[in-house]
Chain A
Amino acid sequence: MPGKLKAKIVAGRHLPVMDRASDLTDAFVEVKFGNTTFKTDVFPKSLNPQWNSEWFKFEVDDEDLQDEPLQITVLDHDTYSANDAIGKVYIDIDPLLSCEAATVISGWLPIYDTIHGIRGEINVLVKVDLFNDLNRFRQSSCGVKFFCTTSIPRCYRVALVHGFVEELVVNEDPEYQWIDRIRTPRASNEARQRLISLMSGELQRKIGLKVLEMGGNAVVGYLQCFDLEGESGLVVRAIGTACTLDKLSPGTAPNTTTHTNTHTLPNTAPTSNACNSPSKDSKESPLAHGCRSTHNSPVHSTCSSQRLSHSQNFSVSVPTLVFTGMGSGGSVGKEAGPLKTLLRQHTQSALEQREFPIFTLTCFPPGFLVHVGGVVSTRSVKLLDRIHNPDEPETRDAWWEEIRQEIKSHAKALGCHAVVGYSESTSICEEVCILSASGTAAMLNPRFMREGCLDTGGSDHRLSRQPHPGMVGSERGEGEVSSTWLGFEDASPPSCGFVHIPYDEFNMPFPAQLTYCYHCRRQKVPDVLFTTIDLPAEAEVTGKGCLIQARLCRTKKKAQGEVNATSISNLLPFMEYELHTQLMNKLKLRSMNALFGLRIQISVGENMLLGLASATGVYLSALPAPGGIQIAGKTPSDLSYDQHISTMQKRIDDTIAKNKELYNIHPPKLFTLDPEAFTGLNTECIEEVVGSPIPDRQRSSRLFRSTSESSDELSELDLSHGKKDAFVLEIDDTDAVEDIQSLLTDAPIPAGFYSCNTEVMPGIHNWTSGLQMFTSVRVYRLSNANLTNQGLNKIFTDLCENLLKSLYFKLRSMIPCCLCHLNFTVAVPEEELIQVAVTAVAMSFDKETQQAADKALTRGSGENEEQLQFSMEMCGESTISNNQPTAKPSGVPESAMVHSSRAPSVDYGSFADRCSTWLELLRLKAHTIRRGSVKTSRRTQLLAHSVSSSERCSPLPEGRSRSLRSTRSLPCGAPVTVVKMTPLSFLPGTRIVKYLGIINMFFIRETTSLREEGGVSGFLHSFIAEVFAMVRAHVAALGGNALVSYSMKECVFMENPNKNQAQCLINVSGDAVIFIRESDQEAIPPLLTSRQTSSTGADGTT
């Protein structure tokens, strides 16, 4: 009996009228947990009942506490007939089970009904008294913290990364049980909601147990998904990264030096482990790629890699393509150079003991990521059959195990021992299911993975998101101690180390164009890099980044069973190839050389397959400049044809030039010059560097050293670069025509907007607190059934482009702003329907202060450390702008260069004015369209004026209401807490002081009066708004004021307009947090801050 759950029902408000005669309601509440139910008294004839109940106490096992939700049902008492249910509230009490999360759930929660939506609110209080259970064989895992965030949570530091955890539970879907034929839709929906809630509770508990077994105390990057397999069942699965996290007490500055010394010792120990680790080979043996059943094909056949070879230039960064299915994995390590082999063995030792060296993290402490190889991905097509025994979900487990093994072997083939930024997904259509997994092959620093070895650098990183100057020192120190086998580590500065190839250059896993790193000039780098992770904080980027999407639609014959599965698996490699080609072309068109956050989604429908790849393109300063795109025709005889080609070529060249301006990409040109000129220039350049604003002096000296050392290799480097310019697209190729079309149809982003699908936009650092999270869903009906692939592609591309355009227009009042974490999800809900859902956050930034900050930082060059600490966001900017003067020919005066590097391609001059007069303008316009009648609104105008003066920008950004509330409060009781939501792991300008627990909610909404609810759009609009409202309310009840790492994982929409019916399922998740403004924080003395953090947190909303 290790837990006591207590609940108190305080009051209700805004209840619906249940008795038409009196226009009132006689409400009472049932509180249910497990099999125990309590009831409140009936509060007669009121829409705002005050129950003020006693504490209902449930004495339960902590196992149940983790699995079960607290279920609160509000009913209308009816003397003569059965009581009518008004609605329900499910409360996940998991956040109360960890001592570091929330302590009480208290607040107004929306009462939800699956047919009517939100029907009023209920005020509840929930507490848990937990008795510590030290039983070793316990089934519960209370106290393990869960985070959706895919980086180390901001107020923790990582002591140890244990690795991959996964779990999967299956059940029959209540919607498909026989009983569903006789029960009401409401009952069926509620059964489903409850079951999923139970299953995710169980899943979380089981994962928690695994974490405890591994010795960890938290799961980071927790990703839970549902597979609605229809007839064959319901699967809830989750993956995550087990870690040991230490809570950072605010104000304690981590002592870098003392800890740094301690790392170096344990580093040597495992080397011996690695040598006698027998696991390596034995682990590999069960990997047989082709030995699966017929309908789960390897994603890439050899044929696809054959296709690639004719234009090797762009196959470089597509390791998956070439690799998957080749099975050459294990050999690479053995033939690699001695240094690397050593390192590999050394680091592998820590990882090899694990079955899956896989990490769901996308953002890492500095030094964690050593090298990045490239994207690895696997898809497998499966036929679903009924899950016979829900208690033994072995089939599904085995499927995913296969996939993960394959991912692991791909990573190995890239010379990497780990996979980071890993995620899994499914697409189901009828009985066919595509399982996908992707990640980034990487080499990791083993010291994060060993017991008893605490990292310190990581904590700095989380606070500052910028490599701490001390970090560089520590790395170097470490390198010296163990230079015998980590020699090259010393030579590669952390800012470019991750782009250095992990594989052996003489035994490359795929044809790649290697050059020496443009930053350190000592290690080889590929010409293009694709990854699924976020841009590492230490990475140096030239200019800004942008969202790059490849879209593809392929028709497919309708088929059943195995035939269908086979045809899908035959299509997959081609789709993936084309998506990669598109991505590469678009990347080149934007003069960029790396993709981050790559996510390729392939959705299956009855008669088509949709592919959507999204990523954020950047220009990594350490990688070579991409060559242009050249169009070549096969039949040069025709004059008009030649002309056509040359106009096309011109358009492409123009676009590239325009994009360079737009994204502020002015890469150092001098590397393409001949070596003589380069060395000459370089020495001059260095001299300037010494006096110029380089934050890290060591870097400049290192640059100097490295160039001189490797000068004899320069000619080779430049030769290879010379060849590279020829990225040829042959226009005779129908694919190429399509490619060019899609290249040129991408509409440019409107002035003042940027977009990316990563956490933050490289090149933008000066975020304001203005932020707007949104979800947009569109469904298109294809009217013409006989569409060609091209036609379909065009439609699909237009759909995505128009959606983006609409988003920009909608958010125009936030300019200058960046759409971050743009997450597209495509689906084919029915034949001839395409559904696209986007969730993102628009964050406005301050153009003017950004420039001012630039200037300030550029001037204060020498002692940058202090500035690093107080304004880390700006520092990133400074490194970027500073980086340019270093590389530029020194003939140009420095001031001019600084100017040019910052020259905005967009003019925001008028923007400030526009903002300040926004409301006046609005009012004027509103009045011009009136019919000359005198308005009664003199007062409103005054009001509008006062608002515009206090609120300079648009009325959109949240959070300002607080200041306004004080000036003119709405006289209607306690104001609703403003809860911010963002898909990012942080809120700009704020500091997260407490994580209150994971929010993971699943809702079903159904209607039988679709037309009355405003059609499908009206229905979905209000449902999404309701989901947001419920999430916000639960966050607020936990005492939080924001939800970070928010994601909408599932949005399944089904309609039947003829029957006037529709149903929608939504699953959302995120981390509830308390944040404080950075400016507020200064006002609060550190003592008080710490007390606030450790206190209940119920009033942490300030």
Chain B
Amino acid sequence: MSMELDVFVGNTTIMDMEVYQLWLDGLTVSDAVKVRMDEGALLECEANPEVLTSDTMDQFRTFQMCERLLHSPTKLGSQLLYQIPAQNQIILIERYYEFDSVFAREVLGKKLSKGTKKDLDDTSCKTGITLKSCRRQFDNFKRVFKVVEELKGPLVENIQRHFLLSDTLARDYAAIVFFANSRFETGKRKLQYLSFQDFAFCAGQLISYWTIGAMGAPTVPDSMMEDMDVDLEKEFLNELKDLKVLVNDKDMMDQHKILVCAALRGKIKVYKLMEVNFKNLSRALINLASKLTHTKDVRDLFIDLVEKFIEPCRYDRWTVAEITLFLTHYTNAAHCLGTFRHQMIWDRYMGVIKSCILQMYHE
């Protein structure tokens, strides 16, 4: 005797969110049944393994049938096929688009292409996330990327409008889209210690301060037309070249050093080393700025930050607090340089660099 057919259809679609998570995690029905049994599902309602299997199969099928709608979440609200309470719709969508940060970290900065998708089994092995789940997450990235790529207006809002995601999740997606678009280098061994959250934070900073949309879009209404959040502002990057004066003009550099040293004397333990290294550190940051006109160097932004600034500091055993103090005074001191005229650009640059470094400065 065998069950040939077994369906359950409710007028309101019944969705067990625990099972949904198992489905999202890419488990097979039998694995999901095992997990549910381990969690004590059998204790409920005098269930037996048969009942549990039937329920799991049915739920999985339901989710599979809804998956099509989840690909364009706005449809979920207007479709007639499944009567799903609004609050459940929100949870369904949110869960579907949630991702494992370990996975996101792997894909970050890679081109969201078929080639990358083919390599997902490696990613799956490495992260321990099922291939099915990897594919879903990858497809989500790609889908969001494709939709948002063509749209005008603020990135996070676009993602929220089209995918009905919560603010936090939309920001994470914005980071992923931003990274995929600019193809930042994140895969180098030296960058391995950085988590997705670190990068997402940095992306947020870059989006907020270095893109066209960042500096109050109304001033440039025409630029609304194009990826205002996805690309860094060209003009700004060009202007960054002007900062070179801080290292090229010897007087200015000395002056800068004196000001910083005066402010930090007695306040940081690594003062001596700072004094010795000041020019190197300053040069590293300024050179980084001046190079950003080249796409390749933009891609290397993070590796450069690590190699040129973070590693030397780490070698000298700076604490986070010391770095904070240093960067604060380093930034502020430039304002006191009488001959330095690029205050606006400087602040815009250093604000982001400072928060990125602070976020990235850990083991």
Query: A: which residues have CB within 8 A of B?
Result: 13-14, 108, 110, 118, 121, 747-748, 750, 753, 772-784, 795, 802, 805-813, 833, 835, 919, 922, 925-926, 929-931, 933-940, 942-944, 947, 950-951, 955-958, 960-961, 964-965, 968-976, 978-981, 1014, 1016-1018, 1020-1022, 1024-1026, 1028-1029, 1032-1033, 1053
Contacts and interface: CB of A to CB of B under 8 A. Distances in A.
B6 interface: yes
Contacts of B81: 110, 118, 1025-1026, 1029
Nearest to B94: A940
A1014 B101 contact: no
Interface SS of A by simple majority:
mixed
Interface centre among B8, B21, B95 (most CB of A within 10 A): B8
A970 B86 contact: yes
Contacts of B195: 934
Contact of B80 (A121, A835, A974): A121
B51 A1021 contact: no
Contacts of B18: 922, 925-926
A981 B87 contact: no
Contact of B45 (A809, A933, A1025): A809
A1025 B164 contact: no
Given A776-B8, A1028-B9, A1053-B5, A972 B78 contact: yes
A937 B94 contact: yes
Given A937-B169, A947-B91, A973 B78 contact: yes
Contacts of B54: 802, 806
Contact of B46 (A747, A919, A970): A747
B4 A1025 contact: no
B152 to A, nearest CB: 17
Contacts of A1032: 11, 80, 83
Interface string B71-99: 00011111111110111111100110011
Given A779-B5, A943-B91, A960-B85, 12 more contacts: A774-B14, A775-B8, A784-B1, A802-B54, A805-B51, A809-B52, A934-B195, A956-B12, A958-B85, A968-B90, A971-B74, A973-B77
30 contacts: A14-B75, A14-B78, A750-B46, A775-B9, A781-B4, A783-B2, A784-B1, A810-B8, A929-B25, A933-B102, A933-B129, A934-B197, A935-B100, A939-B169, A951-B87, A955-B88, A958-B83, A961-B85, A968-B87, A970-B76, A976-B79, A1014-B64, A1017-B5, A1017-B6, A1020-B5, A1020-B7, A1021-B61, A1021-B62, A1029-B82, A1053-B5
A933 B61 contact: no
A784 to B, nearest CB: 8
The 9 A-B pairs at the shortest CB distance, nearest first, are namely A939-B168, A939-B166, A970-B77, A779-B5, A926-B21, A972-B77, A774-B10, A1024-B9, A961-B86
Contacts, number: 258
Interface of B: 1-18, 21-22, 25, 35, 39, 44-48, 50-52, 54-55, 57-58, 61-62, 64-65, 74-83, 85-91, 94-95, 98-104, 127-129, 161, 164, 166-169, 172, 195-197
Contacts of A782: 1
A988 to B, nearest CB: 15
B91 A979 contact: no
Contacts of A957: 12, 85
Contacts of A110: 80-81
Contact of A1017 (B7, B48, B94): B7
B7 A777 contact: yes
A778 B104 CA distance: 41
Contacts of B129: 931, 933
Contacts of B62: 1021
Contact of A805 (B8, B14, B48): B48
Contacts of A812: 44-45
Contacts of A972: 74-75, 77-78, 164
A780 B169 contact: no
Given A933-B100, A961-B86, A1024-B9, A781 B91 contact: no
A108 B5 contact: no
Nearest to A1016: B5
Contacts of B87: 947, 950-951, 955, 960-961, 964, 968
B31 to A, nearest CB: 11
A76 B299 CA distance: 48
A780 B47 contact: no
Contacts of B58: 810, 1021
A776 B61 contact: no
B202 to A, nearest CB: 15
B80 A1033 contact: yes
B3 A778 contact: yes
B44 to A, nearest CB: 6
